C-alpha cells in the first residue's frame, strides 16, 4: 500500500505534488512503484492518491497499470491508509506493507527484512538509531535540555503488519475520532500490536523539501552518467526421456509419448534459466542450491528453482531485463505452447512478456537430440545491478 495523496506543501507547489516531480528523468513515485512491483514477495500494490492526480499517476505508472489498484485518499495520511487497506479487504492478504511514495530509494533487502519480520501477531518497523544529539526547545527558542538519545530511532517505511490486525486498528481509531497518529506503527502501538524494529537504510530518505528532490535528481543523474552494471548469464541443461505421458517445459505440461527423466520435474528450460540467473551474481548453479541428492526436491516443480534464483538476484539489487530460452528437440512441438510458457515465465520473473523469448529448434536428426533420446535447453538472462562496472 503506497501512500501518495498528500500535497507536499513543504516542497513547494510550483511544479506540482512532490511525488510526481521528476528525479532521474522519471516521477518520484515511478521509482517507488518499480521497486515494490519488482519484489518477488509483493503480489498486489494499492496506491492512495489525491482526487486531482489521476492523470499524473497514469503517466507515472506507465507499464504498470495492470498491477496497480488506485484508491482516492482522504484528507489525512491516516485516512488515506485506512481507505487503501479497505480496498485490500476483499483479497485480505496475510501481510501488508505501508510505504510513503516519496521514499524512492527503498531497496529490495529492506523490503525482504521487513516482510520476514512480520508474523500473525507482530508488525515490523524499519528504523535507524538516532545519531544526532537531541535538544528540547524551551521558551523563546532557548535550549531547555539535552535529550538522551540511547534507544531512540528514526522511523522509516515500509512499515509491515498482519493485515487484519492493522485494518481493525485503523477502523477503531477512525470510529473513535482519533486522527492524530503520525505513522502506522503509532496506531499499532495504541491498538496493542507488538512492533519489532528492523534495520532501516540510510539511503531510504523521505523527500520532504525542494532541496531533497534536487539532490535525489542529481544522485540519479550521476548514476545514469556512469556505465551501467549490466550482466549476462548463460545456462545449459539436458534431460533424457523415460516412460511417461507428458513433458514439462518452461512451466507448462505438454502431452507426449514419453517424459523427461530427472530428480525434479526435469524442466530443462527452467533449469537452464535458473543457472543463467545465478550466473549474473556469481551465486553458483542449480546443483549448489538444489542438490539432486536431497530427497526434498524429488518431483519438485522447477518453478521453485527459478523463483529462488530471482529472489537472490533481487536481494542483491538486480533488476531482470530479459530472458531468452532456446529448447532443442525433435518433439514435442513448442509453438502451440509458447504463449502459455511466456505467461508462466512472466509470473516467475516479474517482468512483462515482451522481455521474454522462447524459441525452439531441432538438431537436424543429429546426436542424442536428433535420435529423440532427450531434450536440451540453452538460456540467457540479462540483469541490471546497482552501481557501475568497476574499471
Query: Mean pLDDT across the stretch 167-192?
Result: 96
- How far apart are the C-alpha atoms of 18 and 102, rounded to whole Å? 7
Q: Where in the chain is the domain with CATH 3.30.1330.50?
A: 228-388
Query: Is 38 assigned to a binding site?
Result: no
CATH code of the domain made up of 228-388: 3.30.1330.50
Query: Is 371 assigned to a binding site?
Result: yes
- 6-10, 52-56, 179-183, 366-370 — which is least confidently predicted? 6-10
Q: Where in the chain is the domain with CATH 3.90.550.10?
A: 2-222
Residue 388: the pLDDT is: 58
Residue 12: the pLDDT is: 47
- 49-63, 138-152, 324-338, 376-390 — which is least confidently predicted? 376-390
Residues counted in the chain: 391
Task: Note the pLDDT tens digit of each residue in 260-275.
Answer: 998 889 999 999 999 9
Please choose, from the candidates 273, 348, 349, the residue with its C-alpha nearest in 3D space to the C-alpha of residue 318: 349
Query: Is 245 assigned to a binding site?
Result: no
12 compared with 300, residue with greater pLDDT: 300
Query: Is 363 assigned to a binding site?
Result: yes
Cell of 367: 546426436
Query: Is 368 assigned to a binding site?
Result: yes
Query: Is 265 assigned to a binding site?
Result: no
**What Cα–Cα distance (Å) separates residue 327 from each residue in 118, 179, 324, 364, 376?**
41, 59, 10, 14, 6
Please choose, from the candidates 213, 250, 277, the residue with its C-alpha nearest in 3D space to the C-alpha of residue 29: 213
Please choose, from the candidates 36, 25, 68, 26, the residue with its C-alpha nearest in 3D space to the C-alpha of residue 49: 68
- How far apart are the C-alpha atoms of 101 and 266, rounded to whole Å? 42
Query: Is 47 assigned to a binding site?
Result: no
Residues 37/45, Cβ–Cβ less than 8 Å: yes
Query: Is 263 assigned to a binding site?
Result: yes
Query: Mean pLDDT across the stretch 182-189?
Result: 96
Query: Is 240 assigned to a binding site?
Result: no
Residue 11: the pLDDT is: 46
Task: Note the pLDDT tens digit of each residue in 352-363.
Answer: 889 999 999 999
- How far apart are the C-alpha atoms of 124 and 112, rounded to whole Å? 11
Confidence grade of residue 13 (pLDDT, cut at 50, 70, 90): low
Confidence grade of residue 111 (pLDDT, cut at 50, 70, 90): very high
CATH code of the domain made up of 2-222: 3.90.550.10
Residues 351/381, Cβ–Cβ less than 8 Å: no
Amino acid at each position: 500500500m503506497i501512500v501518495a495523496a498528500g500535497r507536499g506543501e513543504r516542497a513547494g507547489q510550483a511544479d506540482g505534488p512532490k511525488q510526481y516531480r521528476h528525479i532521474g528523468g522519471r516521477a518520484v513515485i515511478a521509482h517507488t512503484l518499480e521497486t515494490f512491483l519488482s519484489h518477488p514477495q509483493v503480489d498486489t500494490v494499492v496506491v492512495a492518491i489525491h482526487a486531482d492526480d489521476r492523470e499524473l499517476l497514469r503517466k507515472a505508472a506507465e507499464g504498470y497499470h495492470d498491477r496497480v489498484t488506485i484508491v482516492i485518499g482522504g484528507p489525512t495520511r491516516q485516512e488515506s491508509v485506512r481507505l487503501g487497506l479497505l480496498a485490500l479487504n476483499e483479497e485480505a492478504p496475510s501481510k501488508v506493507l505501508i510505504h510513503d511514495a516519496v521514499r524512492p530509494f527503498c531497496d529490495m533487502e529492506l523490503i525482504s527484512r521487513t516482510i520476514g519480520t512480520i508474523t500473525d501477531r507482530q508488525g515490523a518497523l524499519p528504523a535507524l538509531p538516532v545519531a544526532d544529539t537531541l535538544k528540547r526547545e524551551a521558551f523563546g527558542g532557548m535550549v531547555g535540555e539535552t535529550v538522551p538519545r540511547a534507544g531512540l530511532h528514526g522511523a522509516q517505511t515500509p512499515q509491515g503488519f498482519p493485515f487484519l490486525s492493522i485494518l481493525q486498528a485503523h477502523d477503531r481509531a477512525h470510529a473513535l475520532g482519533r486522527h492524530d497518529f503520525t505513522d502506522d506503527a503509532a496506531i499499532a502501538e495504541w491498538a496493542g500490536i507488538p512492533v519489532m524494529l528492523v534495520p532501516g537504510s540510510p539511503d531510504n530518505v523521505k523527500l520532504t523539501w525542494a532541496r531533497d528532490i534536487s539532490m535525489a535528481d542529481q544522485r540519479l543523474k550521476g548514476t545514469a552518467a556512469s556505465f551501467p552494471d549490466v550482466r549476462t548469464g548463460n545456462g545449459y541443461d539436458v534431460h533424457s526421456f523415460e516412460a511417461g505421458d507428458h513433458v514439462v517445459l518452461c512451466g507448462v505440461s505438454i502431452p507426449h509419448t514419453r517424459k523427461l527423466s530427472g530428480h525434479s520435474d526435469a524442466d530443462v528450460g527452467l533449469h537452464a534459466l535458473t543457472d543463467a540467473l545465478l550466473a549474473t551474481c556469481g551465486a553458483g548453479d542449480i546443483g549448489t542450491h538444489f542438490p539432486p541428492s536431497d530427497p526434498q526436491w524429488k518431483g519438485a516443480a522447477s518453478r521453485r528453482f527459478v523463483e529462488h534464483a530471482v529472489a537472490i538476484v533481487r536481494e542483491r539489487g538486480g533488476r531482470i531485463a530479459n530472458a531468452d530460452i532456446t529448447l532443442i528437440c525433435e518433439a514435442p512441438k513448442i509453438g502451440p505452447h509458447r504463449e502459455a510458457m511466456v505467461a508462466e515465465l512472466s509470473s516467475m520473473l516479474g517482468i512483462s512478456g515482451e522481455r521474454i523469448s522462447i524459441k525452439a529448434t531441432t538438431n537436424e536428426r543429429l546426436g542424442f537430440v536428433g535420435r529423440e533420446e532427450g531434450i536440451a535447453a540453452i538460456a540467457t538472462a540479462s540483469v541490471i545491478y546497482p552501481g557501475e562496472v568497476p574499471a
